[in-house]
Structure 1
Amino acid sequence: MRAGVAAAAGLALVALSACSGQGARLGLPEAASAEAPNVGNLWVGAWIASFVVGGIVWGLIGWAVIRYRRKDGDAPAPRQTTYHLPLELLYTLVPFLIVGVLFFYTVKAQDAMISQTDEPDVVVNVVGQKWSWTFSYMEEDNPDIGADAHTVGTLESIPDLYLPVDKTVRFNLNSADVIHSFWVPSFYFKMDVIPGQENSFDVTPNRLGTYDGKCAELCGEYHALMLFKVHIVTEEEYEAYVRDLAENGNEGARLVQDTIQNALPSTETDEEHS
C-alpha cells in the first residue's frame, strides 16, 4: 500500500510541477481568451486526478506482483477476504466520490463559459453554410465605424474573423442548412450552429495574434474545408478592418436567407438535378 501511495504522490508532484511551465496545458493550445482558464484548469485538474488514481492502482498491482511472486517454493497465498462490508463500501463510494467531484467542477466551468454580459462590446453574427462561414459585424451604432459589414467565405477562400483584444464579443450563431459547430481551439470552447435556432456565447479575446478556427461537427462532403482564421488585433485595427469591408461593397449584415441564396450556387444546382 505504501508503494501505491508513494507512486501516486510522485505522479501528482510531476503534474503539479508542470503547472509552472508550458507542460501545464497538457496538450491544450495556448489560451487566447479570458474565459479559457475555466476549461484549462478543469483539464489539468482532471489529469492530476487521473494520475493519482492511476498511481494508486499501479502501485497496488506492483505491490501484489512483488509480494506474491514465486520464489524457490510455491507462491504465498494471499489472505482471502469475503463479505467484508467496509471494504465493499469503499470500492463503491470512492468511484462515486471521484465522479461527483469531477461533475461539480465540470458544471462550474460550464456555467462560467456560457455566462453572458448584458452589454457586449462587439456583436458578430455567424452563419455556417455548406461549406464555409459568413461573419457579420454589427457596428451600425458604433460612432467610430457607423455601419454593419460582412465577409463571406467559400471553398476557395477561407474567411477571416477580426476581433478586438480585451473586448467582450457576443457571437450569435445560426446555420443556413445543416448542423455545424463553431470552434476556436484557443478559446477552449465550441458551440453548435443549428438551422432555425440561434445560439450565442460571449468571449473576451486577450492575446494578440492569429488563430485557427474550424467546424467541429461532421456536416457533409467538404466539412474538412470549413476553416477560418481568427485575427485578434487592437481596437484601432479592428475598426479599420470593418470600415474597409463596408467601403468595399460589403456593407450591411448578411442574413441567413441571403447566405442560402448566395453561397455555393453550384451545390444548389446539383441538388436540383438530383
Structure 2
Amino acid sequence: MAIAGSGALLLTGCSAEVQRGWLPNVERDTTNHTGMIQDLWVNTWITVLLVGILTWGLMLWCIIAYRRRKTDTGYPRQLSYNLPIEIFYTAVPLVMVLTFFTFSDSTEKAINTPVDSELVVDIRAKQWAWDYNYTYQDQEKYDATVQAHLTGEEGRKAELPTLVLPVGKTVTLELNSRDVVHSFWVPAFLQKLDMIPGRTNYMYLTPEVEGQFDGKCAELCGEYHSEMLFNVKVVSEGEFLNHLATLKDGHVGEEYDRKPGEVNQLSAHTTEGK
C-alpha cells in the first residue's frame, strides 16, 4: 500500500496542471504581457522566500544561542531598547516595500498604458452572457451571445460564447456592464478586470499564440454566475476576417443596458439579440 500510495503521488506530478511547477500554468508569450507578469510573480516569490529563510534562520539562531542554560540563575539582563537594531528593522522593511512597489508599479503601468490598437472590441457583460462589438479596418460588427446552460454533455464547451481575436494584432478591450458588476477574466492572459455599470474599463494586449482559451466572469453576479463562461479564440487574420463576415453589421450599445428597476431588454436567454 505504501508503494502504491507513493506511486500515485509521483504520478500526480505528470499532470498538465503541474507541469510548470510553481510557475503560472500559462505559456510565457500567450500575450505581449504574460512574460512580464510571470517575471514579476517569480521574482517576488524568490525574494520573499529568501527573506523568509533569513528570518527563520535568525529566529532559530536566537533560540539556540540565547536559550537558558542549566547553570543560569535569576533573570537575564533586561534591555529596554537597541537603537541600531530598531533602525535596521525599520529601514529594511521600508526598502523592501518601496522595491516591491517600484517593480509592481512599473509592470502595471506597462500593462495599462493605452495603445493605438488595430482592433477595438466593446465587450458588454450581461446576466449571464456577453455581447461583442468589433471595430476593425472600418468594419463594425457585433455578436450578441446567449447564456450557455451547462449540462455535463461532452462537447458543450465548444458552444460557449466565443470572443475571436487575430494573432499579432494590438487589441483594446472596452469592458462594460449592462446590469450588475461583472468581471472579465481570461486565466491564460494573466489579466482580470471588473466591469462596472456606467463605467468603461480598458484592457490592452496583443495575442501572440493561436489557440482557444477559457474565460469566465470572476465576480458573483447572480443566480447563473457559474454558467457565465466564454471562450477566447486567437486565430490568423484571414480566419478573423472570415469570422467578422458572419456577424451582423453595427453595434449593440447602451440602448440595451438595464435601467433601474427594469430587466435586460437584450436578455442572455434570447437567441436573436432582440
TM range (shorter): 0.7 to 0.9
TM-score w.r.t. length of structure 1: 0.77
Residue by residue over 1:124-154, the C-alpha shift from the partner in whole angstroms, topping out at 9 and shown as x without a partner, is 110010112111212361xxxx552324131
Secondary structure at 2:174 match in 1: strand
2:152 aligned residue: none
Deviates more, 1:156-165 or 1:173-182: 156-165
2:32 aligned residue: 34
8 A Cα contact 2:23 2:38, kept in partner:
no
1:47 to 45, 65, 76: 45
Gapped regions of structure 2 (runs ≥ 5): 1-18, 150-158, 258-263
1:221 aligned residue: 223
1:200 to 182, 185, 202: 202
2:92 aligned residue: 94
8 A Cα contact 1:182 1:192, kept in partner:
yes
2:14 aligned residue: none
* Cα distance in 2 for residues equivalent to 1:220 and 1:75: 66
1:237 to 233, 236, 239: 239
Q: After superposition, where does 1:107-256 map in structure 2 within 5 Å?
A: 107-118=105-116, 120-139=117-136, 141=138, 146-156=139-149, 158-244=160-246, 246=247, 250-256=248-254
8 A Cα contact 2:169 2:206, kept in partner:
yes
How many residues matched?
A: 235
Change (3 A) 1:33 1:75: farther
Q: What one-letter code is carried by the residue in structure 2 that aligns with 1:208?
A: E
**Larger helix share, 1 or 2:** 1
2:55 to 54, 57, 69: 57
TM-score w.r.t. length of structure 2: 0.77
Q: CA RMSD in A?
A: 2.5
* Cα distance in 1 for residues equivalent to 2:33 and 2:172: 13
* Cα distance in 2 for residues equivalent to 1:176 and 1:257: 9
Gapped regions of structure 1 (runs ≥ 5): 1-20, 267-274
* Cα distance in 1 for residues equivalent to 2:101 and 2:76: 37
Secondary structure at 1:262 match in 2: coil
TM-superposed CA distance for 1:70, in Å, is 6.9
TM-superposed CA distance for 1:85, in Å, is 0.7
8 A Cα contact 1:153 1:159, kept in partner:
yes
* Cα distance in 2 for residues equivalent to 1:59 and 1:41: 27
Identity %: 38
8 A Cα contact 2:118 2:136, kept in partner:
no
Secondary structure at 1:167 match in 2: coil
Change (3 A) 1:75 1:129: farther
* Cα distance in 2 for residues equivalent to 1:79 and 1:239: 80
8 A Cα contact 1:175 1:256, kept in partner:
no
Secondary structure at 2:100 match in 1: helix
Work out whether 1:262 is the aligned partner of 2:266: yes
